[in-house]
Structure 1
Amino acid sequence: MDKLVYIIRHGETEYNRQGIVQGGGVDSSLNATGRAQAEAFYRAYGELPFEAVLTSRLKRTHETVAPFLRQGLAWEQFAEINEMSWGDHEGKKSTPSSHAEYRAVVAAWQRGDYTAAMPRGESAAELGARLQRFIDHLRQRQETLLLVCAHGRTMRGLMCLLQGLPLSAMHQFEHSNTGLWLVQQQAGDFTLLKENDTLHLSQIHA
């Protein structure tokens, strides 16, 4: 059965704007810009006959898809697509030293060392394991049109795994607030049709 999955990142939060690390342990809300982004996405795609909305358990994803939920669409939350845990750095503004530590961890992932993690944070291997559980669930669902709202690093990991790429390629996938990734599933295989599409935001950036 062919399936189309619209996957978006949540709208902007004040933490995003201020450069504060969020991760899976910070349950922040959208700011005014984020709410405008969510409404813009809804104006562009609100008439599509989505059969269900899937989000993480963090409220920034819930608030992003709120206009769709007001239609009464079926809604399920999955911890598997929560944002990656950045450990001790969550809730803190990025500094030169913390950014250097982050870059070192990302460089390790790019070398294929998926055990690397920020202090008391999540490794790429741990992230990949839970994302794979979500993908396995996605494959089994019977709907043909789904909306998924997740997070930046989660999006990077999903795009790798959906396309059969190693997690060392995560850095290749840029992500914007409410950027759209359109994925088609055919016979269990996934094809990327749109990548970080933000055309719907042109009206609020004009």
Structure 2
Amino acid sequence: MGSKKIYVVRHGQTDYNLKGVVQGSGIDAPINENGQKQAAAFYEEYKHIPFDRIYYSGLIRTRQSIERFINGKVPHESIPELNEISWGKYEGLPMDHQENEYYHNMLKKWASGELDHKIDGGESPLDVAIRLRKAFDHIVDNGGSKILVCMHGRAIRILMSVLLNYELRYMDVFKHENLCCYELTQYADRTFRMDAYRPTPVLIKEELTKII
């Protein structure tokens, strides 16, 4: 088996993103108008790449974000193991001061190495790492040399740590924004190299008007 190029992209903006409300895996929100524009800009930036496999999570916002690449010819598959981390009882709740403090304290615990810590009813980074590894084992075993994967922000941070052998407590060194893209090479020995991080593609207003 030769090397593969894998493009891992975050979904486009949702109204929950816009309001700063966590969605996790329990909120199946669609992308909003701005998310559609981001998706269009991402397509324009990457449409020259002949993807031969496309994967997305079990949540609608990921498929909507890469819908333009799914043309009936490229095999594509929804993999629920690519879903965002579950934020448990905090999913869908506006972040008041107390909840925001709780959230940031939890991130501090993760950064200190308490990677089994989780919100009530939610998942820990270790939980997510296990299912993401399972998902990527399936992806790399299923053929294809140019692969597009659409998933979620926190899950991407955990995935990059797993694939690039970073300690999971350092996951926040990996950036994410809507429709950002990590370009990876996977080698025959199943090791990965990060080739590039690319932020959200931006088109001028006139170009977006022609696309949308």
Which residue matches 2:120?
A: 119
Q: Map of 1:141-180 to 2, 5 A cutoff?
A: 141-180=142-181
Q: CA deviation at 1:52?
A: 1.2
Unpaired runs of 5+ in structure 2? 208-212
Q: Provide the identity percentage.
A: 32
Which residue matches 2:38?
A: 37
Which residue matches 2:196?
A: 194
Q: What TM-score do the two structures reach when normalised by structure 1?
A: 0.94
Q: What TM-score do the two structures reach when normalised by structure 2?
A: 0.92
Q: CA deviation at 1:200?
A: 2.2
Distance (whole Å) between structure 1 residues aligned to residue 46 and residue 150 of structure 2: 14
Q: Which moves more between the two structures, 3-12 or 167-176?
A: 167-176
Distance (whole Å) between structure 1 residues aligned to residue 54 and residue 40 of structure 2: 16
AA paired with 1:173?
F
Which residue matches 2:55?
A: 54
Instruction: Give the secondary-structure state (helix, strand or coil) at the position aligned to 1:39.
Output: helix
In structure 2, do the counterparts of structure 1 residues 136 and 32 end up closer, same or farther at CA, with 3 Å as the change threshold? same
Q: CA deviation at 1:14?
A: 0.7
AA paired with 2:80?
A
Number of residue equivalences? 205
Residue pair 1:9, 1:151 contacting (<8 A) in 2 also: yes
Aligned pair 1:139/2:143, yes or no? no
Distance (whole Å) between structure 2 residues aligned to residue 101 and residue 150 of structure 1: 25
Distance (whole Å) between structure 1 residues aligned to residue 200 and residue 176 of structure 2: 13
Q: CA deviation at 1:127?
A: 0.8
Which residue matches 2:210?
A: none
AA paired with 1:100?
E
Distance (whole Å) between structure 2 residues aligned to residue 109 and residue 27 of structure 1: 26
Unpaired runs of 5+ in structure 1? none
Residue pair 2:31, 2:64 contacting (<8 A) in 1 also: yes
Residue pair 1:57, 1:82 contacting (<8 A) in 2 also: yes
Residue pair 1:52, 1:74 contacting (<8 A) in 2 also: yes
In structure 2, do the counterparts of structure 1 residues 19 and 184 end up closer, same or farther at CA, with 3 Å as the change threshold? same
AA paired with 2:9?
I
In structure 2, do the counterparts of structure 1 residues 139 and 70 end up closer, same or farther at CA, with 3 Å as the change threshold? closer
Q: CA deviation at 1:174?
A: 1.3
Instruction: Give the secondary-structure state (helix, strand or coil) at the position aligned to 2:201.
Output: helix
Residue pair 2:181, 2:200 contacting (<8 A) in 1 also: no
Instruction: Give the secondary-structure state (helix, strand or coil) at the position aligned to 1:133.
Output: helix
